[in-house]
Amino acid sequence: MGKLRECCFIKSLHFFTDMARKGIKEKFWTLFISLLCALSLHAQKELLVFERGKPLGAFELFSKTKIATLVVDSNDAKVVSLCAKAFLNDVEMLSGRRMPLAHKSFKHQPKLMAGTIGRSVVIDEMIRAGFLDAGAIKGKWECFIIKVVGPDTLVIAGSDPRGTAFGIFHLSELLGVSPWVLWADAMPSKKSQMFIKGSFTSMEPSVKYRGIFLNDEDWGLQPWAAKTFEPETGDIGPKTYSKIFELLLRLKANLFWPAMHDCTKAFFQIEGNQQIAADYGMVAGTSHAEPMLRNNVGEWDQKAMGPFNYISNKEKVYAYWEERVKQSKGMDAVYSMGMRGVHDSKMEGVKNEQEAAALMEGILSDQRGLLAKYIHNDVTTIPQAFTAYKEVLDIYDAGLKLPDDITLVWPDDNYGYIQRLNNHSEKERSGGSGVYYHASYWGRPHDYLWLGTTLPVLMQSEMMKAFSNGANRIWVLNVGDIKPLEYSIELFLDMAYDAAPFQTNAFAKQHHFNWLKNLFGQQMANSIHPILWEYYNLAYQRRPEFMGWSQTEPTTKTNYSTFNHFYFGDEAQKRIQQYQLIEDKVKVLRKQIHGKDSEAFYQLVYYPVVGASHMNKKFLYRDKAYLYAKQNRLSALTYSAMSKAAYDSIVAETAYFNTQLSEGKWKHMMSMQPRNLPVFLEPDLPVITMDRKSAWVGPL
């Protein structure tokens, strides 16, 4: 019955289209088309993409002889036109042909119409004519509809500009273009034709503000931007941010905290940064240590301005904040509230948490006064966040009276376990709550800035506990340099956008498999998924960066492993063998992967697995050399050489990443020794002297 209704609908549509072409009045034609569209209300509610054979009623995006025109209203938000141009690039990668771009609709040619309700004439006309019912999304936050309304028309309508952007990129991903097409060289397969059928209506996102914190960028993102991608700026500037923002929109995110270390010029000080954020519809924020959109490291000049102390230097600190609030008027932003030291340190001028809490209340009152004066007189309408990170949590617990409309952001413990969940009264706060979570971390007792190793199941478990407890206003992930945390970023943002499937414990594993399938296909995902799952499990036992048994702040020398080399069946050797197994498997797979997938495979699979394996072997072989030398085993010399070879392999793979991968595209992006901590250095091998007359020659 469904196929018969569809067939009658399509034939009738062609009939009345022909009548219109022969001169029948437009009102008559529109009336009948509206009636026919009403008959299609029971049509398919799923959006499907076909690569072969055009199904009845399907929209032809492109074929060997035809390609649709993309129509956007030039008066729509800037982000819509930017995403439209990105979509043209996506289709060109798929088809080898360039889609035409138009700014007004044509009746009879195949056209994809994208725009925002109330801002796009072409979309509003479709709604008025009855071709599109937008009631399900109108007035909602970041929603979209994608619908085939006839064989010649596909519509993407957003409830707001970001909703439109999400709809455009949602279609891109359905067509086979990964969000990581730029950031991990995840190239799509070529297609000769593509057809689209059905419709899809999105829900509102699970978390209102969702995004990333670019942090500890000294060894990857900043030098890559400054020396490779954007040398004309010599820093992380608008060209780099435009690509970061496009990635966030492809992942249906909307919030960013900009890079803020002293190697990077402050976001607001680089011409074009503020404008590019506005163009891409991004919500700006700043970290827990940077109130009022300020970058203290780059903008607070202690020599000229005095101490960053609200007791002894209140006037200058207040003026410093006031200047930025004025500058940010009209900007889409979430203001970080409160005060810490200049850079991730304690508030100055207070003796204890009680004093700090009293001072903090005055600071919050003054900051909100600035927002009311320059942004909106009803300060409760302005998004604000208070992140209870490190000592700030103690200040909060000391009785701080936090205004009810400020979002309370709970941190993890820097290692993936959320420190606090809402109590009953906190659940009722009008400002709600959120989470600041680390997938990359600089600090005591040890950093993990090199590889992306956060266990997916841990992230899922912690974030879903927080979400179920009401933390759904702001989620921010510390992502370091973005690379090589690609999967952690997508997992976090997918959970933030649609939490429902992740409330089933087993879904994290399925999500990871689906991610790999979308990148490399079903067959290759079957092979890669168990390798990476083991990689995460081994890192959960001990991250590669922790294998030196050292610490930082204060930094200590590396020590010997507590993995036992003699008991439990040689615990250390078992770990080496576990890594060797997945290393061998990725090396076999690398020989099987060619063409468009080879660069993505290296970045997302090969380098992290092989790097982690060699880091473990570097230390565990060193330990065997030391222990076996004490037993006068000749094999100690072999293990010493194997430890050095593991280090040399990390050096060689990192050099390949930076100089040869993707024809040098990622030069300066990958560092194998962030902060030059002892754990990353060449192994400190024992001096081995053997009494060869009594040496024990045994098996390795």
Across the 700 residues of the chain, what is the mean pLDDT of every consecutive 10-residue run? 36 40 43 39 68 91 94 97 98 96 84 97 94 95 96 96 98 98 97 96 98 97 98 98 98 97 96 98 96 96 95 97 97 97 90 95 98 98 96 94 98 96 95 98 96 98 98 98 97 98 95 98 97 98 98 96 94 98 98 94 98 98 95 94 98 98 98 97 89 64
Distance CA 274, CA 291 (A): 17
What is the dotted CATH code of the domain comprising 44-201? Answer: 3.30.379.10
**What is the CATH T-level fold of the domain 209-505, as seen in this structure?**
TIM Barrel (3.20.20)
Please give the pLDDT value at position 12: 41
Buried/exposed 181-199: b ≥16 CB within 10 Å, e otherwise? bbbbbbbbeebebbbbbbb
pLDDT of residue 35: 40
Residue 688 confidence (pLDDT)? 85
DSSP state of 381: G
In this structure, which amino acid lies at residue 236? I
The pLDDT, as a whole number, for residue 698 is 62
Indicate the SS3 state at residue 415: coil
Query: What's the confidence (pLDDT) of residue 697?
Result: 61
Please, which contacts does 131-137 make with residues 24 or more away whose CB atoms are closer than 8 Å? 131/33, 131/34, 131/37, 131/155, 132/157, 133/41, 134/159, 136/201, 137/163, 137/201, 137/202
Long-range CB contacts (< 8 A, 24+ apart) of 306-310? 307/348, 307/349, 308/341, 308/342, 308/348, 309/348, 309/349, 310/339, 310/347, 310/348, 310/349, 310/359, 310/362, 310/363
Radius of gyration for the chain, computed over Cα atoms and rounded to the nearest angstrom: 28
Query: Where are the extended beta strands (E) located within 365-481?
Result: 384-387, 407-411, 433-438, 474-480
**Cα torsion angle, 584, 586, 587, 588, sign:** positive
Query: Largest Cα–Cα distance in the chain?
Result: 107
Q: Tell me the CA distances in angstroms from 215 to 101, 210, 222, 554, one per residue in order.
A: 37, 16, 10, 21
pTM over 0.85: yes
Domain ranges of the chain: 44-201, 209-505, 528-680
Structure tokens at 156: 């993407």
Q: Provide the pLDDT for residue 15.
A: 41
CATH architecture of 528-680: Up-down Bundle (1.20)
Separation CA 374–CA 372 (nearest Å): 6
Confidence (pLDDT) at 2: 38
- For residue 657, the surrounding DSSP H or E stretch is helix 635-659
| Half-sphere exposure at residue 159, Cβ-oriented, CA atoms within 13 angstroms | 17
User: In this structure, are residues 473 and 209 in contact, taking their beta carbons and an 8 Å threshold?
Assistant: yes
Q: Does the bond joining 554 to the residue before it have cis omega, within 30 degrees of 0? A: yes
Cis peptide before 445 (omega within 30 of 0): yes
Half-sphere exposure of 363 toward its Cβ, with a 13 Å CA cutoff?
Answer: 25
Output the DSSP codes for 549-591: ---TTTT------SS-SSSTTTHHHHHHHHHHHHHHHHHHHHH
Q: Which amino acid is at 321?
A: W
What was the pLDDT predicted at 700?
57
Is residue 626 classed as helix, strand or coil in its secondary structure? Answer: helix
Look at residue 209 in the predicted model and tell me its pLDDT: 98
Long-range contacts of 182-185 (CB under 8 A, 24+ apart): 182/243, 182/246, 182/247, 183/243, 183/247, 183/482, 183/483, 183/486, 184/483, 184/486, 184/599, 184/600, 184/603, 184/604, 185/599, 185/600, 185/603, 185/662, 185/665
Q: Is the peptide bond before 484 cis (omega within 30 degrees of 0)?
A: yes
DSSP 13-74: HHHHHHHHHTT--HHHHHHHHHHHHHHGGGS--S-EEESSS--TT-EEEE-SS-BPEEE--T
Tokens 């820093």, located at residue = 235
The confidence score (pLDDT) of residue 452 equals 98
What's residue 672's pLDDT?
A: 97
